[in-house]
Structure 1
Amino acid sequence: MAAKAYVIGVGMTKFEKPGRREDWDYPAMAREAGTNALADAGIEYSRVRQAYVGYVYGESTSGQRSVYELGLTGIPVVNVNNNCSTGSTALFLATQAVRGGAVDCALALGFEKMQPGSLGATFEDREQPMMRHLLALAELEEFAMPPAPYMFGAAGREHMRRYGTTAEQFAKIGVKNHRHSANNPYAQFQDVYELDEILAAPEVYAPLTRLQCSPTSDGSGAAIIAGESFVDEHGLADQAVEIAGQSMVTDLPGTFEDRSAISLVGAGMTRVAARQVYEQAGIGPSDVDVIELHDCFSTNELITYEALGLCAEGEGGKLVDSGDTTYGGRWVVNPSGGLISKGHPLGATGLAQCAELTWQLRGTAGGRQVPGAEVALQHNIGLGGAVVVTAYRPANR
């Protein structure tokens, strides 16, 4: 049986519109997030034995350059890139190193310095990694640009055709997440919108309007992962959060064989990973109190409700209408504001989710605190593809 692993410190920067902070380069972002995580854990960087550093857009050893801002200790530094699940992949690797006994303390750090506007390709002289997915989707829905809203919008359209889900139900997710972010000082946006404003925003790819789409962002997040003996040695049990279950799953045959836009955006991967995590942690969806999930688009949040088992397949729209995904309901989903309103610097997103859930389980999330939160669930997906699902609970309960 694998040893236990705990989050003992977290830190992040405020997420910003690209270029908003002049001369804010990725080493400075990483220094801020990493320094905050170390201070939260109450340890020096010299106690960290390995570092896993995630980013999507950057040069080959940007991971080393970023953590050199924290110190020069000679430890292994691994650069990580797994599309939008990059941050949680770094977390997965750090946790694996601790659980497997390779090290007693590891750093997971992620950052992104992005260009404004829709995501684009960096290399034009080779096949794009999403090409197989896009070609499969083009057989189902006429191709449109930009690719990301096309893919997730097409999944939403399929859900509407199959189950009668409405544009208003997707838009309500945008309302919720923008409202949640009003209490998050780290969020890129803190504006609150009514349903008619979400629906009336410029259309990106129906049913998605701009206020239902995550923006490009600059920012960084970090987490310190440690083993049980390290927690005991440093007296960290009161603040440590156990990683009770964690799974990474990549594309399965059904991704392409189902001939489904919903499958092509990763619902099958999520379903398998969630099942594995529930089994590891000895919990079910009904035991979870607070969730940070990958709402790159409102359509994906609704689809993910079903893949995580919060409701039956096809019932996501009814779950939205019930109010059970916000304060006063069965779960609070994306109390941070999610990717839609908090922002989405690709390499940092998964670690910002980890930070939010750590604060929630400690009871230190301020105005967005979920009362009595004892079990948390994280979902971070990157197309092409990988999903990481993680369950957390306080070490001292």
Structure 2
Amino acid sequence: MKSYIVGVGMTKFEKPETREWQYWDMAREAGGKALEDAGVSYDQVEQVPVGYCFQPSTAGQRAVYELGLTGVPVYNVNNNCATGATALMMARQFVEGGLSDCVLALGFEKMARGSLGGGGSGGGGDLKTSPVARHYGVMAARHGFEATPPTAQIFGNAAREHMEKYGTTEAQLAAVGAKNHRHSVNNPYAQFQDAYSVDEILAARTVHRPLTKLQCSPTSDGSAAAVVVSERFVERHGLADRAVEIAAQAMTTDTAESFASGSCVDAVGGPMSREAARQAYERAGLGIADVDVVELHDCFSINELLTYEALGMCAPGDSGKLVESGATTYGGRWVVNPSGGLISKGHPLGATGLAQAAELTWHLRGEAGPRQVPGARVGLAHNIGLGGAAVVTVLRRL
């Protein structure tokens, strides 16, 4: 059975404490927009997976009660930074499995200012009991452990390894940030909408060498949502003009390869991203050559380069040259992160994967305004969380 996204919505992603609102206010705004976009009322929704990382248990219920009190099942989802895509995957499975005809996937996050602690999505700095302790152990064995933010540290060390092995340059890493900040200028939902040159990005404060502040995703408040329905629901309600097919989706978690090499490149998700992409391509009957627009998990600039390689956009080691060539921006082979990506759009953990789906849906419908990718028919989303989970989603507009 096929599944379709027929409505999407999101809030503007903002610096924490910018607005005096609660997570349920964000959810009401994003969820309400998605329902309105679909032309669906909340009493037609049969199940609701809700993603978040920093709020307490059953916060999903508190959030969706703002949309209605219909008694439908609500599932609270936490999969670190891949939480939003995990909620979308659950919605798709409910529909494709024939359990429901209309499901609302919702994600939100209300975060604290400053860098994330070392204890994973739940905060806290106790690396010994952290769910990502094994990942940080790989890093510490090869690079030691410094006083810089742990996530920036492990990705920064992955960047150093890539530079040492392939000759990737700091300017190529900065080119990722420059591209994504430039793209965000046209996105009213983005936390930042300022353009920066490569030189300005290189001159910004260093977070963990070689990563500067303008190559790192910020903490953010925000919410995003998608209405996922069956083919018969589309037909019954005349929603074909709104429908974007979820052509394929795959989730993978860490394997032995993630830890065996002792490389931070593998520990931060390279192997599981490659496998998720392989499975998604196989299920969709499509490849990266068929894709027009990509929203990928650029939590740090190096992860965009690593993901180019994992998705098959270039050979291992060639990702720095790929971004430098202009192949991943407007006028190139693909447009990657037209939203500004996590680096510039922002990264409220529970909402990120669903915001990617919203952005791609707008492009595939031709509704992305000044950032529209011309003629986009196939989109790919990549959402990853340390600990770990990688979700690759292929969307198609027929």
Asked whether the two chains share a fold, i.e. TM above 0.5, the reply is: yes
- 1:169-215 CA distances to partner (integer Å, 9 max, x unpaired)? 00000000000000000000000111110000000011100000000
Equivalent of 1:102, from 89, 99, 120? 99
Deviations for 1:12-54, whole angstroms, at most 9, x for unmatched residues?
A: 00000000012x1101000000000000000100010000000
Task: Tell whether 2:391 aligns with 1:388.
Answer: yes
1:201 is aligned to 204
Equivalent position of 1:285 in the other structure? 288
Structure 1 equivalent of residue 134 of structure 2:
132
1:235 counterpart (210, 235, 238) = 238
Aligned partners of 1:239 and 1:322: how far apart in 2? 35
Match of 2:16 among 9, 15, 18: 18
SS where residue 190 of structure 1 aligns?
coil
SS in 2 for 1:387: strand
What amino acid sits opposite 1:354 in the alignment? A
Which deviates more from structure 2 when the two are superposed, residues 334-343 or residues 276-285?
Answer: 276-285
Pairwise CA RMSD: 0.9
Measure, in 2, the Cα distance between the counterparts of 1:167 and 1:142.
Answer: 21
How far the C-alpha of 1:127 sits from its partner, in A, is 1.1
1:265-288 CA-partner distances (Å, limit 9, x unpaired): 001000000000001111111110
Measured in 2, the distance between the counterparts of 1:123 and 1:156 equals 25
Return the match for 1:34 from 27, 31, 35.
31
SS in 2 for 1:155: helix
Aligned AA for 1:320? V
- How far 1:108 sits from its partner (Å)? 0.5
From 226, 231, 243, the counterpart of 2:229: 226
Matched to 2:223, the amino acid is S
What residue is the counterpart of 2:193 in the other structure?
A: 190
User: What is the aligned counterpart of 1:92 among 86, 89, 93?
Assistant: 89
Alignment size in residue pairs: 392
Pick from 204, 215, 218 the counterpart of residue 215 of structure 1.
218
Q: Which moved more, 1:125-134 or 1:165-174?
A: 125-134
| Residue 294 to residue 113, structure 1, CA distance change in 2 (3 Å) | same
Determine what percentage of the aligned residue pairs are the same residue: 66
Paired residue for 1:5? 3
Q: Which residue of 2 aligns with 1:310?
A: 313
TM-score normalised over the length of structure 2: 0.97
Q: Give the Å deviation of 1:95.
A: 0.4
Distance 2:369 2:60 in 1: 32
SS of 2:143's equivalent in the other structure is coil
Alignment of 1:163-178 (within 5 A): 163-178=166-181
Partner in structure 1 of residue 341 of structure 2: 338
Q: Which 5+ residue runs of structure 1 have no aligned equivalent?
A: none
**Aligned position for 2:354:** 351
Q: What is the one-letter code of the residue matched to 2:217? A: S
Match of 1:140, SS? helix
- Report runs of 4+ in structure 1 exceeding 6 Å deviation: none
In structure 2, C-alpha distance between the alignment counterparts of 1:259 and 1:43, rounded to whole Å = 49
Shift of 1:325: 0.2
* Structure 1 residue 98 displacement after superposition: 0.4
1:124 Cα offset (Å): 6.8
TM-score between both structures, scaled by the size of structure 1: 0.98
Letter in 1 for 2:85: S
Question: d(CA) in 2 for partners of 1:47 and 1:258?
Answer: 49
